[in-house]
Structure 1
Amino acid sequence: MITAQPVETYTRTQEEQSDIEYLVGLMEKNDVDKIVCGLPKNMNGTIGEQAEKVQAFAEKLKEASGKQLVYWDERLTTKSAHRTLLEADVSRKKRKKVVDKIAAVYILQGYMDSISI
């Protein structure tokens, strides 16, 4: 069984092209062949403004990298990550630093489980 593992959390800058170049480099360094992008849908399943922004950026990343792009519903992943960290008795300060990594792992693992990797 293969499990998703976090690499790093990257905070986007104001320079979109710089962000794309960094992420393409990270994909090359880690031999990535597919982009799995969390899509922040509204709770009723519709695509809102934030999801549209994510899609616009992800499409540019796909174009720059030449990689296949898959969107994965990320609803409740951050909440699940917080719950997991609370159950592990991780302090609030430490949770803030790793919650996005854990949520990203849930997104990727959900996708991998769906294709039976």
Structure 2
Amino acid sequence: MRYVKPLSLFHDLVKSNVETQGRLLGLDVGEKYVGLAVSDPRNKTASPLSVLIRKQSNIDLMISDFQSLISELSLVGFVVGDTSNKIQGYGNTGQVMLFIDDLCKTGKLECLKYTYWDERFSSKSVDFLLNPLDLHPVMAKTIVDKFAAVGILQGYLDYFNRQMKLEAAG
């Protein structure tokens, strides 16, 4: 895996042939789970996908899951939620970096690029919406993780699709 700046990842997608254009996978990395969301083939909208259990001991299993998703969904990159501009005392930047480092160290996802995108409040926003539903805590957690990943990826897609429209108009 190779890090690229957020704009570079999107420009690479736009430059690629529309027929072979790949999709992006949004990741909401937590201590116990990784929420996943996938973009549509045109990279306009994000949809919830699944949640993976995150343990150091199952990194090979996670790699296998990612490899399956890469081939099934024509993935070309990850948009990883991060709080690099974090508010004092809030955020999980360290665990996100450790997770990405673990993935990179395996050398099994070399075909992918990844970038970071601000995830502040993505989980809190979903929590707020789910609170009135009174769901079982495990079900609520998996829903929060998936939809937080949707929020991260959709925020990224919206921002850069808007930028592309402005560039085309300007």
Please indicate the TM-score interval, normalised by the length of the shorter structure: 0.7 to 0.9
Q: Select which of 64, 82, 95 maps to 2:140.
A: 95
TM-score in terms of structure 2 length? 0.56
* Pairing partner for 1:5 from 19, 33, 47: 47
Given that residues 82 and 117 in structure 2 are in contact (C-alpha distance below 8 angstroms), is that contact kept between their aligned partners in structure 1?
yes
User: Would you say the 8 A contact 1:39–1:72 is kept in 2?
Assistant: yes
Q: Counterpart of 1:102 in structure 2: which amino acid? A: F
* Residue number in structure 2 paired with 1:32: 75
The amino acid across from 1:100 in the alignment is D
2:6 paired residue number: none
Q: Residue 46 of structure 1: CA displacement?
A: 8.7
Displacement of 1:110 in angstroms is 0.6
More strand by share: 2
Distance 1:12 1:110 in 2: 24
Q: Would you say how many aligned residue pairs link Structure 1 and Structure 2?
A: 115
The percent of aligned pairs where both chains have the same amino acid is 27
| Structure 1: runs of 5+ lacking an equivalent | none
Partners of 1:105 and 1:61 in 2: CA distance = 26
Which structure has the bigger radius of gyration? 2
What does 1:1-117 align with in structure 2 at a 5 Å threshold?
A: 2-13=44-55, 14-41=57-84, 42-44=86-88, 48-60=93-105, 64-86=109-131, 89-93=132-136, 94-116=139-161
Taking structure 1 as reference, are residues 115 and 59 closer, same or farther at Cα in structure 2, changes over 3 Å only? farther
Tell whether the 8 Å contact from 1:40 to 1:51 is kept in structure 2 after alignment: no
Could you tell me how far apart the structure 2 residues matched to 1:47 and 1:9 are? 18
Report runs of 4+ in structure 1 exceeding 4 Å deviation: 44-48, 60-63
- For structure 2, the 5+ residue unaligned runs are 1-42, 163-170
